[in-house]
Amino acid sequence: MSKLKTISESNFRFPNQTAVYKGKVRDVYFVDDFVIMIATDRISAFDHILPRAIPLKGQILNQMATYFLNATKEEVPNWWVASPDPNVSIGKKCTPFKIEVVVRNYLTGHAWRTYKSGQRMLCGIQLPDGLNENQKFETPIITPSTKADEGHDLDISKEEILGTGLVSKEDYEVIERYALKLFDKGTQMAAERGLILVDTKYEFGKDSEGNILLIDEIHTPDSSRYFYAEDYASRFSDGLPPRQLSKEFVREWLIEHGFQGLDEQIMPVMPDSFVNEVTERYQELYRIITDQELILDEEEPIRRIERNVMQWLLEQKKK
């Protein structure tokens, strides 16, 4: 598995390209009124990009995101227009809001680490004493974070968002409503596949006409956490961690090897065996969620991506 060619970065120059933005995982190209989003095989944790790329990860993320964007477009309008390549999504150019909207229905991951440290206020939401790790909330909660260009995203409350003018009250109400509708739809889709959608993050932006659209990926293992439904209750009752499909196991591996993104900590390099395990986990989630097998392509991915995107752009010129 580790011998498969990976995409650690891209350096394309498309016709009429005006700008490039390289995030933790995606390389984003701005061409005319479109955003061309390349899903690389980079993987990040604790707001750091890990040294090794994960075979097939970009393709899996992009195809899964496309699956969910099409499945939820009737509930919430989104930016997606086309995916001319397994690693590429092209959409409407939007001005993003500088926040990530995180919806949680269980006390796990970052929320649990915060709670375990003794804090009971999470993004302006008061949590009761006596909760256990992986316990379900009575209703889903929204715990926003800032969208940092560099460094760590930070927890922020709704009151702070409105007070600092990051988002207007009117726009935030739409974003909040959209996020909960998406989470409800994602929860239903997960349940149909024997999974629990535990938590997830959404990003939104405004198009040139002032419409609020869902942007970026949704319900992928990079942006979401899933538990297996069949034995969640019994394992929780027995004090055992739930079986899950998410990127959390990568964070746990890093923690076990002394890295949580803090200053002066040295990031460990993943061995081949763990890199292969990460790929297998991503493939497993793809199979379960979409009920499809991933189609592998032996062609050099960078060459394939460039050819497919150029062909799509040419077709747009002919319209």
DSSP line for the chain: -TTS---S------TTEEEEEE-SSEEEEEETTEEEEEE-S--EETTEE-SS--TTHHHHHHHHHHHHHHHHTTTS-B-EEEEEETTEEEEE--EE-SEEEEEEEES-HHHHHHHHTT--EETTEEPPTT--TTPEEEEEEE--EE--SSS---B--HHHHHHHTSS-HHHHHHHHHHHHHHHHHHHHHHHHTTEEEEEEEEEEEE-TTS-EEEES--SSTTTEEEEESTTHHHHHHTTPPPPEEESHHHHHHHHHTT-SS-TTPPPPPPPHHHHHHHHHHHHHHHHHHHS-PPPP--S-HHHHHHHHHHHHHHHHHH-
pLDDT of residue 149: 58
What are the 10-residue block averages of pLDDT along the chain, 319 residues in total?
78 95 93 95 90 93 94 96 96 95 96 95 96 97 83 85 96 98 97 95 96 94 91 97 85 92 90 92 87 81 95 90
User: CB-hemisphere CA count at 13 Å for 51?
Assistant: 9
Tokens of 15: 């016709």
Name which of 122, 169, 128 is nearest 145 in CA terms.
Answer: 122
Domain ranges of the chain: 17-94+252-318, 96-246
pLDDT of residue 2: 45
Q: Counting every residue, how long is the chain? A: 319
pLDDT of residue 294: 84
Q: What angle do CA 256, 23, 227 make, to 5 degrees?
A: 45
d(CA 25, CA 295): 21
CATH class of 17-94+252-318: alpha beta
pLDDT of residue 244: 85
Per CATH, 17-94+252-318 and 96-246 having the same topology is answered: no
| pTM (predicted TM-score) | 0.88
Q: Specify the fold of 96-246.
A: D-amino Acid Aminotransferase; Chain A, domain 1 (3.30.470)
pLDDT of residue 107: 98
Tokens of 251: 């964070």
pLDDT of residue 3: 64
d(CA 35, CA 80): 9
Find out whether 153 and 185 touch, Cβ atoms under 8 Å: no
